[in-house]
A and B are shown apart, each in its own frame.
Chain A
Amino acid sequence: SVFSCDKKLDLLPTNDITSATVYKNADGYKQAFAKVYGSFALTGNQGPAGNGDVQGIDEGTSDFLRLYWKAQELSTDEAVIAWGDVGIQDFHNMNWSAANPFLKGLYYRSLYQITLANEFIRQSADDQLSSRGISGEDADKIRRFSAEARFLRAFQYWVLLDLYGSVPLVTESDLIGVTVPKQADRKTLFNYVESELKAIEPTLAAPKSNEYGRADQAADWALLARLYLNAEVYTGTKRFDDAITYANKVIGSGYSLISNYQWLMLADNQQNTSENIFTINYDGLRTQSYGGTTFLTHAPVGGSESASNFGISGGWGGARTTKNLPNLFPDYTGAADKRAQFYTNGQNLEIKDQGAFTDGFAVTKYRNVNRSGAAGQSLDFADVDFPLFRLSEVYLIYAEAVLRGGAGGNLGNALTYVNNIRTRAYGNTSGNVTSISLDFILDERARELYWEGFRRTDLIRFGKFTTGTYLWPFKGGVANGKSVEDFRNIYPIPTDDITANPTLKQNPGY
C-alpha cells in the first residue's frame, strides 16, 4: 500500500538514547543520578556553556549557586555589585519585581532540579528495578541514589519555601506533562520537607561514609536543624528543641573545624572533609560553568587586586561589601580576627556609587589557589567546592537555638562551640567570649558565614531585613539606607510561572 513507506519516517538520533538504554544497568543509573547532582553545579550539559538547562536567562548566570548567592547576599549589607545586568541592582535597592530575571532563574533552577529528582525517583522505584532485572547490591545502590535524590529535592523545596514562600509542590507521583503543579503554602512545604528528610534518614549513608560530594545522614540532619531554626518564620511555630536535637546529631558525628579559616574556600578545599558536611563540587577542567565558585572567585576581583593571587587570569570587577560587614571585625586587615578577608587598597569603605568597583571593600574569601598558593587547575574556572553545610553553621544553630529557649542543649556547650569558632578565627583564645546574646550570634554568623548565602535568611529571622531597625548603605536604594515594605521578606513568584500555571497565586505585595 502507499503507507508502506511510512517506516522511512521513523528516524532515530545518532547519539542520544532512550530511557530504556539509560536505565538498563546501575552504571546508567549513576550517570542519570549524577545529573541530579550536577544540576546544582552546572548551567547545562555543555561546559562551560552552550546547552543550558534553564531557558530565558543568560546561561552563564543560570546555575544554582550564583543565583542563590545573589538573592541571599546582594539583597543585604554583605554585598553590592557594580554591573548593569538588567535586574541585578534590584536586589540591593530592594525594588525587585516578579519579572526579575535572576529570581526567575533561581526559581526555575530549583524546580528543574526537583523535576530531575522526581524523574530519577520514578525510574528507581522497585517495580522499575525488577522489570529491568536489577537486583541485589545494584538495587541497593540505586535505592540509596533515590534517597539522595529525595534529599536534594527536599533541599530545593527548603530553598523555595525560604525565598518564595508558597510554590508548586510536585513529586514523583506527578507525571511529566500530565498534571498541572499545585501550589502549596509554606506550612505544607515545611511539613513535606521535614517528613521527607525523616523518611530517607535510614536509607542514607552514615555520616562521612559516602563518596565525596554525595549527601549522607549528617547532611540530612544539618538541613533539618536549619529548617527547625527558621520554623517560626516559615510556620509561626517555634521548633528550637528540634533544631538542637539535630544539631547535636551532626556535632556528635565526629566533625571538627579545620585549622585555618582562610583555607575554607580554596581550590583544594576537598581536603576539608572534617568540617564540610555536604558540598557542591566544582572542577576547573571537568565541571565548568560561569557560575558557582568561578563566579565567587572572579566577581570580587577588580581595582588594583592581583588576579594571580586568586588563581585566575583576571577579575570581573563586580562584587564588594558595604561597610557594615568590615565594621563587625576588630580591624579590617584580619590581624586579630583572621576571618576579615578584605581587599582595601584603593577601595573606599564608603559606597557612593554602587557601579564603581572601588567603592566598598572587596572580599578575598574565595580564591582559586591551593593551600600552598599554587593556582587551581584552570585559570578560568575554579576548583573551589562550595560547602552547603559545614560544622560552623551547625555550632551557631545550636547556640542560637539555646539562646532562643530551645530545650535539649545548654549555654555552656553553646559557649564552647562559639569559642571553638573564635579560637580558630584568632589563632588563639584571645578572641574568646564569656557570654553570648542573640545579637552577638547574628554578628558572629556574619563574621563566620559571610558570603556563604545565609545573610538574607538570618536578617529575616532577626526581623532586620526590611525594617528600619537595621540599615546599610543603599538599602532600599538610598545612600544611607531605609526600611522597605515587609512583603519583601518573601520574593515574588516569577511572572512567567504565573502565566504558565494559572492556578498559582502571587505572593502579597507584588
Chain B
Amino acid sequence: QTRSITGKVVDENNQPLTGATVLISGTTMAGAADLNGIYKINGVAPGTYTLTASFIGYTSAPQSVTVGTDNATVNFSLQPSSKSLNEIVVIGYGTVKKKDLTGAVTTVSSKDFQTGNITSPEQLIAGKVAGVSITPNGGAPGAGSTIRVRGGASISASNDPLIVVDGVQLSNDGIAGAPNALTLINPNDIETFTVLKDASATAIYGSRASNGVIIITTKRGATGKPVVNLNTQVSASVLTKEVSVLSADQLRDYVKANGNATFQGLLGTESTNWQKEIYQTAISNDNNLSVSGGLKNLPYRISVGYLDQKGILRTGYLNRASASINLSPKLFDNHLKIDFNVRGTASKARFANQGAIGAAISFDPTKPVLSGNTNYGGYFEYLDSDPSSATGLKQLAPRNPVGLLEEREDKSDVKRSIGNLQLDYKFHFLPDLHANVNFGYDASEGKGTIVQPDFAASSFRRYKDANNVLHSGVNNQYNNKVLNTTFEGYLNYVKEVKAIDTRIDAVAGYAYYDYKTTITNYPDLTTDGTVVSSPTYPFDIPRNRLLSYYGRLNLTIANKYLLTGTIRRDGSSRFSPLNRYAVFPSGALAWKIKEESFLKDNTLFSDLKLRVGYGLTGQQDGLSNYAYTPYYSLSSQTASYQFGNTFYQLYRPIAYDPKRKWEQSATTNAGIDFGFLGGRLTGSIDAYYKETKDLLAPVNVAAGAGFSNTFVTNVGTMTNKGIEVSLNAQVVRSKDVAWDVAFNATYNQNKITKLTFVNDPNSTGIASGGVSGGTGSSVQRIIVGQPRGAYYVYQQVYGTDGKPLDNVYVDRNGDGSINDKDLYLYKQPDPKYIFGFSSNVSYRNFNLAVVMRANVGNYAYNNVYSSTGTRNSILNPLGYLNNGSTNVLESGLIGANDKNVLSDYYIQNASFVKMDNASLGYNFGKILGGSAQLSVSGNVQNVFTITKYKGVDPEVNGGIDNNIYPRPRTYVLGVNLKF
C-alpha cells in the first residue's frame, strides 16, 4: 500500500509559489504546487525519503521525511537564490564571502555572461559592471577591447587593468601575431570575473593596481560522475552599415559640376561599390567540449575547443584550438589542497589587410575591379602617364582595395600556454595557519609571415639593387617568444577569537614576477629574397621584473564591523635603485548595519552595509624598461652617415630620467550595499575620488637641456571622480515566468590638474590625437583643467543656409587673424555617463535575454568626413580622382586650407544606446530517457545602435574615427548538450 506526501510551498513572504516542483530524490516521483502552493505526491511506499523543492530563482534545503502508515506532510519555505550573500568572492591572495567584502568589488559569473559568438573573454562582461567600460577595438576576428576601470589613471603609462588568471598576473604587453593577448584564453573555460575597483580592494596588488584589477577564475572539476558538456555554435556576421560615400553616378555628377576638363577626363564608366567588394558575410563556428567530475578524490575538468572564425573583411580568419586541464585534489585529510591548471592554445590567423578599408572609401567608384589585363595581378590600378615610370603606377594614389586584400598574406601562428600550480597547506599542528604557494607561467611564441607576390601593386618594384635591378614583393617574417614567470607565496592565519567575538584573517606574502620577451629580428626581403634592409641587431630581449612583499589583515568584529588593512612593498627593475621601491598601503571599514539588533528582524531590508576605504596604488606598466639610466643606441643601417666613402651607423644618446619613479594613485571610496524584499532587489552605490600623483606625462624639456625635447617624467596630477550605481531585481517570480533585470550606471569625470613643473596658465598642453588628412595635424590636447584628449579646434562659422563656410572660423581672440591662438577646447571623447542594462526572462523552457549599453556625453572626431569629404580631396592635384564622403554634398567644403581638418564641424555627438546582445533559448530538459539535457539558443549580437553620430559606429576608442574595422552584426545558433 502506498501513501501520499503533501504540503505547501511558499516564498520568503509566505506567498504561495505556484508551479514549484517537489521531487523525491533518487526517484522520478514529483508534484507541482497549485495556485495555493499545495503539492501532492501520490503512490509513495513507506520509507524514509529526501525531498527537494525547486523553483527558478529560489533555493531550499532538502527535507527528510519518513512515510509510515499515514500520509506525510512537508512544507517548504523557499528563499531567493540569486545574489546569494554567501557567495564566495575571489580577492587577491584569498577569498571572502560577498557579505564580508569591504571594498568595491563586482563579480560576474558565467550564468550572467554575454552570450553568442564571443572570442575574447572581456566581451563576456561588457555592460555588466558599473565603472567598467569595455570598448571593442574593431570587428576583426579576435580583436580585443580596451578595458577601462573607472576611467584609467594614467597618461603616458598604461591605463589597462591588471588581469590575473588563476593567480597568474598577465603582462599587458601583446603577443606578436595575436590580435590581443586575452584572445588566447577560451571564454568557455571562464567561471567568474571579479573586478576590484577601489584601492582598498586593489592595493594588495600594489604597483600594478592603479587601473583596477580583473581576476579571472576558470572552471574547476567537481566530485561525482563525469559530466560532459558539449557546446556548438554556428554564426553569420554581416556588415551593419557602409560608410556613406559617393556612388559612381554621384561622383560623375560631382566632378562634372566642380572639376575642370582634366578631372572630368579621369572619370570612368563603371559603377563599383568598393565596400561591397571587400566585405563578406562571414560564417564561423565554435565548438567546445568539457568533461568534469571526480575520479575518487581527484576532481578534474578537461576541456577542448575549436574556433573557426572568419572576418567580414574578406581573407581574414582566426582558427583557434584550445585545451585545458584542471586538477584540484585534496590530500592528507584535506590539509593539502592542490590546484593545478594548464591551458594551451594554438591559433592560426590571417590578418586581412585593413588598408583596404580606407582604400574602399576613397577609391574611385567609376573604375572597375579588374583591368582586363594581367598586370598587377589583374587588378585595376591608377597608372602613371609617364611611360618611363619604373613601376608604371601612379605614386601616392590609393591601390585597388581588392588587390590590397588578395595580394597580402599576413599569417600568424601563435602558441600560448598559461599554467599554475597552487599548493595550499593547512598545518597539521596549527590548522588555523595555511601556507600557500603558487608557481605560474605564461609562455607564448608568436611567429608569422607577411608575403606579397611580386606582381602586387603595393610593393611593385619597391627596391632597386646595386645593379639597378628592381625587385618586387614582400617575403618577411617575425618571431617573438614570451616567457613570464610568477612565484607567489603567502601565509594565511585565520582565527575566531570567541573572547572578543572577533575573526582574524591575516595574510603575509612574497611575490616575484619576471617578464621576458625574446624578439628575433629579420631582414626586409622582396619576393625573390633580395635584402632591402637588415636589422640593426639580430635579436632583442626586453625584460622587467617585480619583487613584492605584501600583507593583509581582516578583522570581523561581532559579525558587524569589518576592518581591512593591506600593505604592499614593490620593487621594479624599471626604476633606478634610488626610487626602485614603493609602499602601497590601504585601509577599509565596513559596517553590516543589517546585523544590528534594530535591523536584524526588519523584513524590508534583507541587507544593508556601509563601506569606506582609502588606499594607495602604483603604476609602472607601459614604461620603457631601462629609461632611468644613460644609454646609447645604434642606428639602423638605413640611418647611417657618410664620411668619405664609408657609412657609419650612429650612436645616439638616449634621453633618460634618473629620477623617474612610481605613479601613485590615492583612492577614496564610499559605498553602500543594500537588499530589499528578501533579496528581490539588491544593489550598491559607490562614490569615489581618485587622485594620481607623480603622473608620468610627457613634458617639454627646455631646449638644449636634454637629448629629447619631450620627455616622460613624473610631473602630473590627474583626478577621476565618479559615482557608480548597480541594481539587480527579480521583477517577476511566478509559476511559469521569472524575470530578472540588472542595471548599472556610472558617472566618471576625468580631469588633469597639473602637467608641468612650473604652473603656466598660458600653456596649451600637449598635442595628441593625430588625424589623417594633413601631415602632423592633431585635434586633441592633454591640458590642465580638462579631461584627457579634449578636442582643440577652430570654431566653424556657418552661412545662413546652415552650411559651414569654407575657411571661415571665429576669431576667438579678436586679433584680426585666424591662427592657432583661436583654437579652443571643445568636448571630449570619453563618455560622462555609462549605462548597462541586462534583462533575462524565463517562461517555462524559454529564455529571452538582452544586454544593452549606453554612453552619454562622448564626442567623436569624424576623420572620414574631414579627410575625404572636401573638394580638394576628391579633385586632388596628383592626377587621379578620390572618392569621398557624401558629406561633401552637404557641406560643400573645399578644404584648400590647413585649418579645415581642425574645424569643430567634424566633432560630432557620439552618445549612443546599443543593444549588444539578444538571445532566445529553449531548454528541452532531459532527453534520451533522462540521460542528457539539451538546450538550443539563437542569438543576435550588435542588434541595433541609436545615435546621432554620422559615422558608421559612434563607439570610437580615443575619439578619432578613421577607417575602423566595422563591428559586424552576428547571428548565432547554438546547441548545448550535457550528459
Cβ of B630: which chain A residues have Cβ within 8 Å of it?
A: 18-19
B545 on the A face (CB < 8 A): yes
Query: Please, how many residues of chain B have a CB less than 8 angstroms from a CB on the other chain?
Result: 104
Cβ of B629: which chain A residues have Cβ within 8 Å of it?
A: 18
A279-317: which have CB < 8 Å to B?
Answer: 281, 283, 285-289, 302-304, 306-309, 312-317
Of chain A, the residue at the smallest CB distance from B633 is A16
Taken together as a complex, chains A and B put the C-alpha atoms of A354 and B386 apart, in Å, by 25
* Residue from the list B385, B637, B654, B705 in contact with A304, Cβ < 8 A: B385
| Beta-carbon contact of A84 and B901 below 8 Å | yes
Cβ proximity bits A112-142 to B, threshold 8 Å, 1 near / 0 not = 1011101100000000000000000000000
* Residue from the list B396, B758, B872, B901 in contact with A86, Cβ < 8 A: B901
A135-177: which have CB < 8 Å to B?
Answer: 167-168, 170, 174, 176-177
A5-29: which have CB < 8 Å to B?
Answer: 5-6, 8-19, 21-22, 28
| Beta-carbon contact of A211 and B700 below 8 Å | no
| Beta-carbon contact of A313 and B821 below 8 Å | no
| Beta-carbon contact of A379 and B390 below 8 Å | yes
Taken together as a complex, chains A and B put the C-alpha atoms of A51 and B708 apart, in Å, by 12
Taken together as a complex, chains A and B put the C-alpha atoms of A461 and B580 apart, in Å, by 56
Given A32-B651, A89-B898, A501-B703, are A48 and B632 also a contact pair (CB < 8 Å)? no
Which of the listed residues A30, A46, A111, A314 has the most CB atoms from chain B within 10 Å of its own CB?
A314
* Residue from the list B703, B705, B710 in contact with A176, Cβ < 8 A: B705
B676-723: which have CB < 8 Å to A?
Answer: 698-710
| Beta-carbon contact of B710 and A56 below 8 Å | yes
Cβ of A54: which chain B residues have Cβ within 8 Å of it?
A: 709
A232 on the B face (CB < 8 A): no
Cβ of B278: which chain A residues have Cβ within 8 Å of it?
A: none
B771-788: which have CB < 8 Å to A?
Answer: 773-777
Cβ of B468: which chain A residues have Cβ within 8 Å of it?
A: 374-375
Taken together as a complex, chains A and B put the C-alpha atoms of A57 and B901 apart, in Å, by 17
Instruction: Say how far A35's CB is from chain B's closest CB, in angstroms.
Output: 4
Instruction: Say how far A288's CB is from chain B's closest CB, in angstroms.
Output: 5
| Beta-carbon contact of B878 and A499 below 8 Å | no
Cβ of A306: which chain B residues have Cβ within 8 Å of it?
A: 386, 388-389
| Beta-carbon contact of B877 and A82 below 8 Å | yes
| Beta-carbon contact of A88 and B898 below 8 Å | yes
Taken together as a complex, chains A and B put the C-alpha atoms of A101 and B649 apart, in Å, by 29
For the complex, would chain B's binding face be called helix, strand, loop or mixed by DSSP majority?
Answer: loop
Cβ proximity bits B862-879 to A, threshold 8 Å, 1 near / 0 not = 000000000010000111
Taken together as a complex, chains A and B put the C-alpha atoms of A75 and B395 apart, in Å, by 28
| Beta-carbon contact of B642 and A60 below 8 Å | no
| Beta-carbon contact of B704 and A181 below 8 Å | yes
| Beta-carbon contact of B651 and A31 below 8 Å | yes
* Residue from the list B626, B635, B896 in contact with A11, Cβ < 8 A: B626
Of chain A, the residue at the smallest CB distance from B654 is A16
B716-764: which have CB < 8 Å to A?
Answer: 756, 758, 760, 762-764
Cβ of A283: which chain B residues have Cβ within 8 Å of it?
A: 640, 642, 647
Given A95-B819, A500-B702, are A46 and B636 also a contact pair (CB < 8 Å)? yes
* Residue from the list B384, B539, B571, B897 in contact with A89, Cβ < 8 A: B897
Cβ of A41: which chain B residues have Cβ within 8 Å of it?
A: 641
Of chain A, the residue at the smallest CB distance from B771 is A86
| Beta-carbon contact of B901 and A501 below 8 Å | no
Taken together as a complex, chains A and B put the C-alpha atoms of A502 and B648 apart, in Å, by 38
* Residue from the list A45, A316, A379, A502 in contact with B635, Cβ < 8 A: A45
Taken together as a complex, chains A and B put the C-alpha atoms of A308 and B470 apart, in Å, by 14
| Beta-carbon contact of B573 and A9 below 8 Å | yes
Instruction: Say how far B191's CB is from chain A's closest CB, in angstroms.
Output: 34
Cβ of A375: which chain B residues have Cβ within 8 Å of it?
A: 390, 464, 468
* Residue from the list B395, B651, B767, B775 in contact with A56, Cβ < 8 A: B767
Cβ of A307: which chain B residues have Cβ within 8 Å of it?
A: 384, 386, 389, 395
Instruction: Say how far A161's CB is from chain B's closest CB, in angstroms.
Output: 14
| Beta-carbon contact of B631 and A17 below 8 Å | yes
Given A34-B648, A86-B902, are A287 and B641 also a contact pair (CB < 8 Å)? yes
Cβ proximity bits A83-96 to B, threshold 8 Å, 1 near / 0 not = 11111111000011
B812 on the A face (CB < 8 A): no
Given A31-B648, A35-B651, A55-B709, are A497 and B390 also a contact pair (CB < 8 Å)? no
The interface-forming segment of A355-363, A408-416, A421-429 is: A355-363
A346-392: which have CB < 8 Å to B?
Answer: 353-358, 374-375, 377-380
Which of the listed residues A42, A119, A357 has the most CB atoms from chain B within 10 Å of its own CB?
A42
Given A14-B540, A495-B764, A497-B700, are A286 and B626 also a contact pair (CB < 8 Å)? no
* Residue from the list B466, B542, B637 in contact with A14, Cβ < 8 A: B542
| Beta-carbon contact of A288 and B638 below 8 Å | yes
Taken together as a complex, chains A and B put the C-alpha atoms of A466 and B512 apart, in Å, by 66
Cβ of B332: which chain A residues have Cβ within 8 Å of it?
A: none
* Residue from the list A28, A48, A177 in contact with B706, Cβ < 8 A: A177
| Beta-carbon contact of B776 and A101 below 8 Å | yes
Cβ of B642: which chain A residues have Cβ within 8 Å of it?
A: 212-213, 281, 283, 286-287
A108 on the B face (CB < 8 A): yes
* Residue from the list B543, B635, B705 in contact with A35, Cβ < 8 A: B635
Instruction: Say how far B460's CB is from chain A's closest CB, in angstroms.
Output: 9
Given A286-B647, A502-B758, are A17 and B632 also a contact pair (CB < 8 Å)? yes
B438 on the A face (CB < 8 A): no
B15-64: which have CB < 8 Å to A?
Answer: none
A37 on the B face (CB < 8 A): yes
| Beta-carbon contact of B704 and A114 below 8 Å | yes
* Residue from the list A35, A89, A176 in contact with B650, Cβ < 8 A: A35
A335 on the B face (CB < 8 A): no
B241 on the A face (CB < 8 A): no
Cβ proximity bits B565-598 to A, threshold 8 Å, 1 near / 0 not = 0000001110001001000000000000000000
Cβ of A87: which chain B residues have Cβ within 8 Å of it?
A: 776, 820, 898
| Beta-carbon contact of A180 and B639 below 8 Å | no
Cβ of A453: which chain B residues have Cβ within 8 Å of it?
A: none
Cβ of A34: which chain B residues have Cβ within 8 Å of it?
A: 640-641, 643, 648-651
Taken together as a complex, chains A and B put the C-alpha atoms of A111 and B700 apart, in Å, by 13
Cβ proximity bits A318-349 to B, threshold 8 Å, 1 near / 0 not = 00000000000000000000000000000000
Instruction: Say how far B390's CB is from chain A's closest CB, in angstroms.
Output: 5
| Beta-carbon contact of B639 and A170 below 8 Å | no
Of chain B, the residue at the smallest CB distance from A90 is B819
| Beta-carbon contact of B705 and A180 below 8 Å | yes
Instruction: Say how far B424's CB is from chain A's closest CB, in angstroms.
Output: 23
| Beta-carbon contact of B758 and A16 below 8 Å | no
A434 on the B face (CB < 8 A): no
Taken together as a complex, chains A and B put the C-alpha atoms of A126 and B625 apart, in Å, by 34
| Beta-carbon contact of A18 and B636 below 8 Å | no
A99 on the B face (CB < 8 A): yes
Instruction: Say how far A31's CB is from chain B's closest CB, in angstroms.
Output: 5
A38 on the B face (CB < 8 A): yes
Of chain A, the residue at the smallest CB distance from B391 is A313
A47 on the B face (CB < 8 A): yes
Given contacts A100-B820, A108-B703, A313-B391, 20 further A-B contacts (CB under 8 A): A10-B573, A31-B649, A47-B639, A51-B636, A54-B709, A60-B775, A83-B774, A83-B898, A85-B774, A89-B898, A99-B820, A99-B821, A114-B704, A115-B707, A176-B707, A308-B386, A309-B386, A500-B701, A500-B703, A501-B703
Q: Which 8 A-B pairs have the closest CB atoms?
A: A314-B395, A47-B638, A58-B776, A47-B639, A501-B702, A38-B641, A170-B704, A355-B896
Interface residues of A, Cβ cutoff 8 Å to B: 2, 5-6, 8-19, 21-22, 28, 30-32, 34-35, 37-38, 41-42, 44-48, 51, 53-58, 60-61, 82-90, 95-97, 99-101, 107-108, 111-112, 114-116, 118-119, 167-168, 170, 174, 176-177, 179-181, 211-214, 281, 283, 285-289, 302-304, 306-309, 312-317, 353-358, 374-375, 377-380, 495-497, 499-502
Contact sample, A vs B, 17 pairs, CB 8 Å cutoff = A6-B547, A9-B580, A11-B573, A31-B648, A31-B650, A38-B641, A42-B641, A46-B636, A56-B766, A85-B775, A97-B819, A100-B820, A119-B653, A213-B644, A287-B640, A287-B647, A314-B389
